[in-house]
Structure formats: structure tokens, C-alpha cells
Amino acid sequence: MMTPFTEKVVSILKQIPAGKVITYGQVANLAGSPRAARQVVRILHSMSKKYQLPWHRVINSKGYIALKEDEAFYTQKHALESEGITVGDNGEIELRVYQWIPE
């Protein structure tokens, strides 16, 4: 069974539109725990497959792909680019252009 925070995080993640990104901290804040960005990372890691979460649309607060491992980095970069998001070679995404701000 999921905690209320986890349920909120999963619900928020499912709403991220294609072609947009959100930060780990932003998700945590929207779910009611502004300091729980690392928990959002754990939820993504453990539940993305089971709940078909768009994990690739979540990036760090500086606007970069957070994954350091080559294969995971390029998988995320490719998934974002396939949705029309411009990603720099270093994994940078312009938040002012692509950040999703829910109503």
C-alpha cells in the first residue's frame, strides 16, 4: 500500500504532459513535502515501470538530467528529444522554455 505522499507523487507524475519537464523538488513541493526531492527520486526508481510513469520528464533543479550513468543518461536524453525537448550535450534543458507549471 502507498503512503498518501507516494500516491500524490504518482498522481502528479502521471499528469506531466509530453514535451514538458518538472524538477524533483517541484514534484515534492506539489505533493506537500517541499524537502522530499530525494524521496521523489526513490519513488521514480521503484515505481516507474509498474505505474508507467514518465520518469524521463523529471530533472534536477538546475535544469539538468540527473542520471550520471551513460546508458541511463542517453536513454533519458533520447526520450526527451523524441518529445521535442532540446537537450544540450551536457544534459541541460532550458527550464524557462520546457518546465511544466501545473495550474
3-state secondary structure (DSSP) of residue 93: coil
In a domain, 103, yes or no: no
87-99 pLDDT, tens digit each: 999 999 999 999 9
Which of 62, 59, 79, 81 lies closest to 71, judged by CA? 79
For residue 63, the enclosing domain spans 4-95
Task: Kindly give, in sequence order, each residue whose CB lies less than 8 Å from that of residue 100, ignoring residues fewer than 6 positions away.
Answer: 16, 17, 20, 21, 22, 57
Whether 64 and 92 have beta carbons less than 8 Å apart is answered as yes
Helix extents (H) in the chain = 4-15, 24-30, 37-47, 70-81, 95-98
For the entire predicted model, the pTM comes to: 0.95
**DSSP structural state of residue 65:** -
51-100 pLDDT, tens digit each: 999 999 999 999 999 999 999 999 999 999 999 999 999 999 999 999 99
Q: How far apart are CA 79 and CA 102, in angstroms?
A: 21
In a domain, 101, yes or no: no
In a domain, 40, yes or no: yes
In a domain, 100, yes or no: no
In a domain, 46, yes or no: yes
In a domain, 43, yes or no: yes
If one counts the domains in the chain, the total is: 1
Q: How far apart are CA 53 and CA 56, in angstroms?
A: 9
In a domain, 24, yes or no: yes
In a domain, 55, yes or no: yes
Q: What is the CATH number of the domain that holds 56?
A: 1.10.10.10
